Amino acid sequence: MPEKKPSVASFITHAKGHGRIVSMRHDRQYFDPIELARIEKSFRKWEESATRTDVRLSRRRILLIFLLIRYTGAKLNEVLALDPLRDIDYKKRAVYFRNAGGDPGRTGREVQISEALSDELRHMLADTEFKRFIERSFTIDPGFVRLKFYERAKMSGFSMRMGGPEMIRKSRAVELMQADMPLPAVQKLMGHSTPNLTSSYVTFSEDEIRQVTKHFMERESSRKTSARNTFFGKISNLRQGDIQTLVELSTIEGHRVTTIITNDSVGRLGLNIGKMITAEVKAPSLIIQKSDGETESSAENRFSGVVTQINTGKINTEYVVDISESTKLCSIITSESGRRLNLKKGDRVWVLFNCFAVVLNVD
Q: To the nearest whole percent, how much of the chain has pLDDT over 70?
A: 80
Give the end of a domain, one of 198, 220, 252.
Answer: 198
Whether residues 14 and 154 fall in one domain:
yes
Torsion sign across C-alpha atoms 156, 158, 159, 164: negative
In a domain, 275, yes or no: yes
16 vs 226: which has the higher pLDDT: 226
pLDDT of residue 49: 95
The answer to whether residue 120 scores a pLDDT higher than 70 is yes
Domain boundary among 198, 218, 246: 198
Residue 212 lies in a domain: no
Residue 249: the pLDDT is 92
pLDDT score, position 26? 40
The domain boundary residue, chosen from 158, 177, 198: 198
- Rank 56-65, 215-224, 336-345, 354-363 by mean pLDDT and report only the highest: 56-65
Question: Mean pLDDT over residues 65-90, rounded?
Answer: 93
CATH of the domain at 160: 1.10.443.10
Whether 156 shows a pLDDT value over 60: the answer reads yes
One domain, residues 37 and 157: yes
Mean pLDDT for the stretch of residues 51-57: 94
pLDDT, position 294: 74
Q: Are 193 and 236 members of one domain?
A: no
Could you report the per-residue pLDDT of 227-268, keeping only the tens digit for each? 468 888 889 999 999 999 999 998 877 889 999 999 999 999
Q: Is 264 helix (H, G, I), strand (E, B) or coil?
A: helix
DSSP state of 284: G
pLDDT at 220 over 50: yes
Please give the residue that has the higher pLDDT: either 261 or 34.
261
Q: How far, in Å, CA of 147 to CA of 82, rounded?
A: 20
Closest CA to 74 of 122, 15, 127, 8: 8
Q: Judging by beta carbons within 10 Å of its beta carbon (0-12, 13-18, 19+), is residue 82 exposed, middle or buried?
A: buried
- Average pLDDT value for residue range 186-203: 62
Dihedral angle at the C-alpha atoms of 147, 26, 14, 163, nearest 10 degrees?
-10
With respect to residue 224, please indicate whether it lies within any of the assigned structural domains.
no
User: Are residues 339 and 239 both part of a single domain?
Assistant: yes
Q: Read off the pTM.
A: 0.60
What local confidence, expressed as pLDDT, does residue 298 receive?
87
Alpha helices in 81-205 (DSSP H): 115-126, 128-137, 142-155, 165-178, 183-189
What pLDDT is recorded for position 107? 64
Same domain for 171 and 36: yes
Cα gap 262→242, rounded to integer Å: 9
pLDDT number for residue 137: 65
In a domain, 167, yes or no: yes
Average the pLDDT over each of 34-38, 90-94, 159-163, 192-196 and give the range with the smallest value: 192-196
Where is mean pLDDT largest: 20-24, 103-107, 278-282? 278-282
Domain-located, residue 306: yes
In this predicted structure, what is the pLDDT of residue 204? Answer: 63
Domain hosting 120: range is 8-198
- Reported as a single tens digit per residue, the pLDDT across 93-112 is 999 987 655 454 556 788 88
Asked whether residue 203 is assigned to any structural domain, the reply reads no
pLDDT at 161: 81
- Answer yes or no: do 157 and 13 share one domain: yes
Average pLDDT along the chain: 82
Q: What is the pLDDT of residue 68?
A: 95
Region for 173 from its dihedrals, namely left if φ exceeds 0, alpha if ψ lies in -120 to 50, beta otherwise = alpha
Residues 255, 155: one domain?
A: no
289 — phi, psi (to 5°)? -120, 130
Please check whether residue 208 lies inside any domain of the structure.
no
Q: Which residues of 117-135 are buried (b: 16+ CB within 10 A; e: fewer)?
A: bbeebeebbeeeebeebbe
DSSP SS3 for 58: helix
Number of independent structural domains in the chain:
2
Q: What is the DSSP letter of 193?
A: S
In this structure, the answer to whether residues 34 and 162 fall within a common structural domain is yes
Same structural domain for residues 36 and 146?
A: yes
CATH number for the domain that contains residue 259:
2.40.50.100
Query: What values do phi and psi take at 19, rounded to 5?
Result: 70, 5
Question: Which range, of 30-34, 57-61, 156-160, 279-283, averages the lowest pLDDT?
Answer: 30-34
pLDDT level of residue 28 (50, 70, 90 thresholds) = low
Which has the higher per-residue pLDDT, 208 or 124? 124
Are residues 42 and 132 both part of a single domain? yes
20 pLDDT above the threshold of 70: no
Q: Which residues make Cβ contacts (< 8 Å) with residue 173, sequence separation at least 6?
A: 8, 11, 12, 73, 186, 190
Tell me whether residue 207 is in a domain. no
pLDDT of res. 139: 78
**Helix, strand, or coil here: 231?**
strand
**Sequence-ordered strand ranges (E) for the chain:** 15-16, 21-22, 88-89, 94-97, 109-112, 230-240, 244-251, 256-262, 276-281, 287-290, 301-312, 316-324, 327-334, 348-353, 358-361
Are residues 237 and 154 both part of a single domain?
Answer: no
- Say if residue 188 is in the same domain as residue 244: no
Which of 109-118, 184-193, 198-207 bottoms out in mean pLDDT, i.e. has the lowest? 198-207
Q: How many residues does this entry show for the chain? A: 363
pLDDT value at residue 101: 52
Is the pLDDT confidence value at 3 over 70? no
Alpha-carbon distances, residue 166 vs 29, 35, 145, 345 (angstroms): 11, 15, 12, 35
